[in-house]
Amino acid sequence: MNLELAKQMITLCKEKALEIETKMNIAVVDAGCNLVVFERMDDAWLGSIDIAMKKARTARYFDMDTGEIGKLSQPGGPLYNIEHSNGGLISFPGGVVVRKGGRVIGAVGVSGSSVENDHTVASAAHGSIQS
């Protein structure tokens, strides 16, 4: 993950957010979970800033989309209560792992609308990846 790719991902996410008429906070982290770029669209929820960043880190920590982690973290599930680890995780959709050539290079986290919209916007970032 580099700054140029991260910026391209932000642009694609913003375009998708505008297309579905929502405002988002968008975070991109590299393979080491370091924040590469963050953008808050005008009037996006302030409370979603931290959530977007945590979604990106959560996806990268476990190399799976946060919605999948959510399925595994339900009561009785193998990852029940995982959201209390690592300084707090997010286990609902909107965090997406980014792979290039089969290798994880980072993740994107999006927050600011319904979890379905968050996941849709985060998934739009894959259009900038050239395998």
- Read off the pLDDT of each residue in 119-123 and give the average, rounded to a whole number: 95
What CATH number does the domain containing 110 carry? 3.30.450.150
Quote the number of domains for the chain. Answer: 1
Q: Where does 25-105 have alpha helices with state H?
A: 48-62, 66-72
Encode burial over 27-51: b for 16+ CB neighbours within 10 A, e otherwise.
bbbbeebeebbbbbbeebbeebbeb
Which band of pLDDT confidence, cut at 50, 70 and 90, is reported for residue 5? very high
- Give mean pLDDT, residues 80-104: 90
Mean pLDDT of 17-43: 97
**pTM of this prediction?**
0.92
- Containing structural domain, residue 110: 3-128
122: nearest Cα among 6, 13, 34:
13
